[in-house]
Structure 1
Amino acid sequence: MTKKENVYILAIESSCDDTSAAVFCNDEILSNIVATQQVHKEYGGVVPELASRAHQQHIVPVVDQAIKKANISKSDLSAIAFTRGPGLMGSLLVGSSFAKSLSLALSLPLIEVNHMQAHLLAHFIKDKDKKKPDFPFLGVTISGGHTQIVKVTDHFEMEVIGETLDDAIGEAFDKCGKMLNLPYPAGPEIDKLSKLGDPYKFEFAKPNVKGLNFSFSGLKTSVLYFLQKQTKDNPDFIEENIEDLCASFQRKVVDILMSKLQKAVKETGINVVAIGGGVSANSGIRTALLEKQKTNHWNVFIPKFEYCTDNAAMIGIVGYLKYRKQLFTDLATASKARYAI
């Protein structure tokens, strides 16, 4: 296949606090550049206004690097894909405005991408070492803003069959991490410390939610009341027990997730499970899923670490899949802070 016969997609992701650009040749990734924002750490969470300003600073050099690393020129591009939502509106607008401007300047088709769909479709990026999930499969999106179980019948035929009623799983990690005096983002810190602790040392509440929906607010409250009681008697309790506290909290989160997923497999009869989103990097969740693959004969798909957090590679593969179906959008397409699968 000649260079002109190939499909080259430039993808742009700017939904939260990472500015990313990627270039695809068909379903094969040529480059994936990510600029992270460190400014939010001192605030203990993402500050939307600061995030959008940083995107404006990063987007031109990030796109330039992605094209150069892919060893192509702008004239080789077939289309431009961008994240339409969900996400922070100010951040989304930077990416969508840039994508629209470039599309207009180069007379290229524009492709809008749902960020949460992209987390699940990242499994379709060409990789000689990994298989792609067969349809139908159960997609599990676990991130700072989402916790969903999705029945995926085709690339663009998805149905949410379970979701959180309050906090997302990543939000629960961060909020409880703050209670434990851990730096933001707390998820990776809890994961790291939990490997050194006893996961059965402390017991926290497991919410009783019917069906396939989740709730993490009760667990968060359970941790809060427990810490208040213990630190009243011993001000150094958290510091002295930090590893066991992290291990016990993570074990409970994994237990909540696995019990709902097991119920979903039983109810749907689908034992192909693919996870996506920032929290899919968590070692406890990965280990639990691989254990289910052994004991319950699930067919489990876990993304590479670089495709877990927000990145343009996952936007690019969706862009390619939509290009094949000629699913283009136009300059009037508006960014959406809330954008259901």
Structure 2
Amino acid sequence: MKKALLYSILLSWFVSSCYFVDDIFDPPPPKELTLQEKAEKSVSSFLKKKLGEKYNPYGFGKITIHKPVEIVELEKLERDNKISPSPKLDTLIKNQKQLIRDNNIERTLDLDHFFTNKDSSDKYTVYETNFILNDTLGVKNLNGKIMLNLDQNMEEIVTFYFYEYNIFETGSYYESRELSRNFYSFFKSELERRNGMLEKSAFLKHTLNLAKMIQHTGSFDQQKILEKNVINYVKEERKDIADYKQLKFSDLYQTEDGNDNNISGYYFFHKFIGNYNSTLDTNVVLVEFSPYYEIENIYQMDRPFEQYFK
């Protein structure tokens, strides 16, 4: 009896092993790619051929399918003809197909792709591009949405930004994660609202700079970060001001929308020495920031200066 039981167990194991071996040498057919996956593969292949190994994909948006009205009309005629066939509908279908062929009308789809590239001189560029694909998923056209040249030392923060890695450091991982997610959500939502490649690229650069400063300290000290932004702005953008030396900043103030009490911006006063038009002088300016901490306006203030720093 025991031998019979042992034989049954061994037979069962042998049969299972046969199925296991069959799976190795005759694996199931691969899963069919979705249209989204096929489109992404087509765009990636296109860019690899154009850019080579220095192409680095980050991610894709959702595909959008565009069906021309001529094809919509053809499909309607074919449905009607299937329900109630008639010679008149046959003629209309034939003519509609001829119209589509003669004018090279086809379905298209588009999707956004975020990627980076390093050229032969190791220049690091961030792109967001909208790709238009034809009905065989070949790249038909493309439109730039973001093109941003950056220093090599910004590559890490681009990865942090796209994958939303933690840039805040607090006593708890959960709090750091929530602060980081809120930061990314706040700025990415605004990026989507910006229009034009120049505006979107400038806003992304601004966001990446903020993220890098937060990553460096682990916190978002609005006062210190905006002071640093203003100092960098004067040194890098105001070439007409020489011998710049910052003296002091006032506290940072926020402004609110009178209707719903939402923050509409920030401002502070800045005192500095600078050489303008060959004249060295002390100045105080009012610096206004957007709700996203961008420098919006700078106004020259009148003396006496101490009134702005009480």
TM-score normalised to the size of structure 2? 0.27
Q: Which has the higher strand share?
A: 2
Higher relative contact order (CA 8 A, sep 6+): 1
TM-score normalised to the size of structure 1? 0.25
